A and B are shown apart, each in its own frame.
Chain A
Amino acid sequence: MGAFDVLGIAGSSMALHQTWLDCLSNNIANINTARPTSGPAFQAQYAMAAAVPGGGVRLSGIAVGDPTGRVVYQPDSPLADAKGYVRMPDIDLGSQMSQLIMAQRGFQAQAAVVRDAQDVYASALSIGR
C-alpha cells in the first residue's frame, strides 16, 4: 500500500465510469438505427465492472444486448422487407438516461474523492509548519 493509492483507485474508477459513459453515448446515438430484418439489430453495449482485489475497479468486459431487437412496421424505409418491417434496437431511452445520470454522479463522486484526498495530503504536509 503506497501513499498515493487513493489517487490510483480513483483513477481506475473514473476510467470505468468513462467507459460506461461511452457505452451509453453509443447506445443513445444508435437508438434509431434501423437494420433490415434479415440481419441482427444494433446491440446495446453495457460496461461490466469487476472489483480489483488490491483496491480499485476494472472493466471486466462489455456485454451486448439482444440482437433480435424490435420489429417495427416502417414501409417507407428503404431497409424494409417485403412486408414493410425493419429491425430497431431494443434500447429503452428512459433506462439509458437514468444510467447516464448514475454514471455522471459516479464520476463526479470520484472526482470529489480526488479533491478531498488532495486536501488531506495538504493538511498532512502542513503538520509542524
Chain B
Amino acid sequence: MSIPAVGPVAFTPFVPGTLPVDSATAAGATQGSTGADFGQLLANGLQQLQGLHAQSDQLAVAAATGDLNAIHDYTITATEAAVATQLTAAVRNKALEAFQSIMQMPI
C-alpha cells in the first residue's frame, strides 16, 4: 500500500514571523530609548480595543431590539472583545511590574 503525498492547500495557516530585531540592540549599543514605541503600541491597542467594544455594544443593542440576524455574530464579537481586553490588561500589568522592579532596584 502506498500513501499519496499530501497536496498543497489553498488556505495558508498562520506562520509565526520572526520578531524584528532592533539594530541598535542587536549591535549591543546602549542607546536610550525614546519611550514613544511602547506608548504608541499601547495607544494603538487601546484604540483597537475601543473599536471592538463599540462593535460588541452595537450588536448587543441589535439583540435587544430584535434586529440581530445571527446569535453567533454577537457572541463571537463579544468573545473577541473580552479576549482583547484581557490581553491589554495583561500587557499593562506586565509593564507596571517591570517598572516597579526597576524602581525597587537598590542603587
Contacts and interface: CB of A to CB of B under 8 A. Distances in A.
Interface of A: 1, 4-5, 7-8, 10-11, 14-15, 18, 51, 53-55, 111, 114, 118, 121-122, 125, 128-129
Contacts of B92: none
Main secondary structure of the interface of A (DSSP, over half): helix
A15 B11 contact: no
Contacts of A128: 94
Interface in B15-43: 15
Contacts of B10: 51, 53
Interface residues of B, number: 18
A114 B83 CA distance: 12
Main secondary structure of the interface of B (DSSP, over half): helix
B79 to A, nearest CB: 6
Given A4-B80, A14-B72, A114-B79, A125 B14 contact: no
B87 A114 contact: no
A61 to B, nearest CB: 18
A107 to B, nearest CB: 9
Given A7-B76, A55-B11, A18 B83 contact: no
B76 to A, nearest CB: 5
A125 B72 contact: no
B105 interface: no
B47 interface: no
A129 B10 CA distance: 38
A7 B80 CA distance: 8
A1 B13 CA distance: 8
Contact of A11 (B73, B86, B94): B73
Interface string B81-101: 001101100100010000000
Contacts of B87: 121, 125
B95 to A, nearest CB: 13
A1 B70 contact: no
